[in-house]
Structure 1
């Protein structure tokens, strides 16, 4: 016997309860012919006759009644799961576009963005490239400049500082090695800054910020990170002063219409509060082990 399709069993339950194809087809939003074919297929799969077909309708055989009892038990067991999935799918998703390090901080403080009682989900779109908010690829973006173009709004979200970091307590032998995002993959000002320095000895290249971090923490070399990422990490220490030319203001950017949706507005407010609470960290004023 081949595996039974639960959809065929649900169709069987409807036919058995209504006593015919037409009423079952209305309930299932299908056609009587399609439901009839499903019943024939089910009988063939079970090698049992389930109905006595009359002009007045479909009457269950003894095997049909036995199957109905078992199928109804399955239906009762499946209903809580289907209800749960149905309710879950009705929850809208608020999508946040953020770079690697802001996504890391938001994830570490996720309970301040979302609770199980919220009637929505959060979806992270982590990428250094900008996703298109105007065309609704995401609802919210964290950017290093205010909104550009029509149908967008922005909200300032504090200052961001950058500094060179190295593995904590790693002895420097001779000329200090650096690690960097490869020029072809340098999508951010900090990545381009490292590549523009003429006198740095690059020991290794990375193509993502996460790999850059792994190289720094492994002691391969010094690399540039936002202070709110490096200063939170006990494996790292600053290898120099903040880089003034990389310092910038941060913005929460959203679609001008979507920002009025209750779930989007709530996430924006929570993100703004979270970032404001960490303002000294973002601004480079809280080096780990500092005063």
Structure 2
């Protein structure tokens, strides 16, 4: 990225996360006025407005949201170096890369993956993008396809079903319910692309991330496509239709051929497999909280 340095992107992430200059100032130690000037310079460098400036704070524009996704990916990459530097003399780190909903499920069941007595630590890398396992960006990747590189090993776990969900008790009798979808410029997953092909003009709102899509569905904006193990675990949601059969697919653990033999990585792999296998009916869409 021409004329853009990493320090400015880190400040940009802090402003976006904190919703304004004051929060970013507390996080980085620079004055709000200095950060404000650097954000103006960043906007000039990219040639696009990144913020809507209000008295209540800074709100991201559509271009700002797109840059935030890319900057967070860079941030995740930078953290791998920090993790490596931090490991000297400490317990080794097992980094797990997975999408938003799989990470959410693992976090809810963290006690099944790690105990204070374990001689290692776990770091989650929640991203819809595929981090580079072959080049050791993470130790374990949870994906919807087996590995293609000869340097990688794969282990199939459970089948994942997907279905439309709406906020509970908020149906619209007599009219077709619109969709909440991932915006075209942010589509990474197969389910997001499928919905773009089939929803046509029925999208009532766009989101730039699965979490925002979930929030919009929860407040009744429209129905959204979610993995059943995410939607069926949320008591505020209900099925808005049948499972999308063509989106049903296997989940895979992907590891580097060498790293998978490390004791701590092997332990985490076995615990993930045991955890998701115990919840196989949930992943397969067989345990809905409420029917359509």
Q: Give the structure-2-normalised TM-score.
A: 0.68
Q: Residues of 2 paired with 1:213 and 1:178: CA distance?
A: 12
Match of 1:66 in 2: none
Alignment of 1:246-265 (within 5 A): 246-265=247-266
Alignment of 1:145-184 (within 5 A): 145-173=145-173, 174-184=175-185
Alignment of 1:204-283 (within 5 A): 204-283=205-284
Counterpart Cα distance in 1 of 2:113 and 2:193: 32
Is 1:104 aligned with 2:92? no
Q: CA deviation at 1:88?
A: 9.0
SS class of match (2:157): strand
Any runs of at least 4 consecutive aligned residues in structure 1 with deviations exceeding 3 A, and if so which?
A: 86-89
Kept after mapping to 1: 8 A contact 2:159/2:250: yes
1:203 matched residue in structure 2: 204
Deviations 1:84-137 (A, max 9, x none): xx9995100000000000000000000000000011100001100000111100
8 Å Cα contact 2:170/2:220 also seen in 1? yes
For residues 247 and 289 of structure 1, the distance between their equivalents in structure 2, rounded to whole angstroms, comes to 20
Paired with 1:187 and 1:212, the residues of 2 have a C-alpha distance of: 14
Return the alpha-carbon distance in structure 1 between the equivalents of residues 251 and 219 of structure 2: 29
* Cα distance between partner residues in 2 of 1:125 and 1:137: 10
Distance 2:245 2:208 in 1: 24
The Cα of 1:175 is off from its aligned counterpart by 2.4
Structure 1 gaps, min length 5:
1-85
SS in 1 for 2:281: helix
Report the CA distance between 1:171 and its aligned residue: 3.0
Partner of 1:71: none
* Residue of structure 2 equivalent to 1:25: none
Aligned length: 205
**Does the 8 Å contact 1:159/1:283 carry over to 2?**
yes
The answer (yes or no) to whether the contact 2:179–2:199 under 8 Å persists in 1 is no
Query: Structure 1 residues 177, 197: closer, same or farther in 2, change over 3 A?
Result: same
Match of 1:51 in 2: none
Partner of residue 136, structure 2: 136
Quote the offset at 1:289 in angstroms.
Answer: 3.9
What is the SS of the residue equivalent to 1:197? helix
Q: Deviations over 1:228-261 (max 9, x none)?
A: 0000100000000000110001101101110110
Which one has the largest radius of gyration?
Answer: 1
Task: Describe the shift of the 1:274–1:178 C-alpha distance in structure 2 as closer, same or farther (beyond 3 A).
Answer: same
Q: Deviations over 1:8-60 (max 9, x none)?
A: xxxxxxxxxxxxxxxxxxxxxxxxxxxxxxxxxxxxxxxxxxxxxxxxxxxxx
Matches for 1:66-85 after TM superposition, within 5 Å: none
Paired residue secondary structure (1:169): coil
**What is the CA distance between 1:201 and its match in structure 2?**
1.5
Alignment check: 8 A CA contact 2:157 2:277 kept? yes
With the length of structure 1 as denominator, give the TM-score of the two structures: 0.68
Give CA-to-partner distance per residue, 1:191-250, whole Å, 9 cap, x none: 111111154521110000000000000100001000000001000000000001100011
- Aligned with 2:271: secondary structure? helix
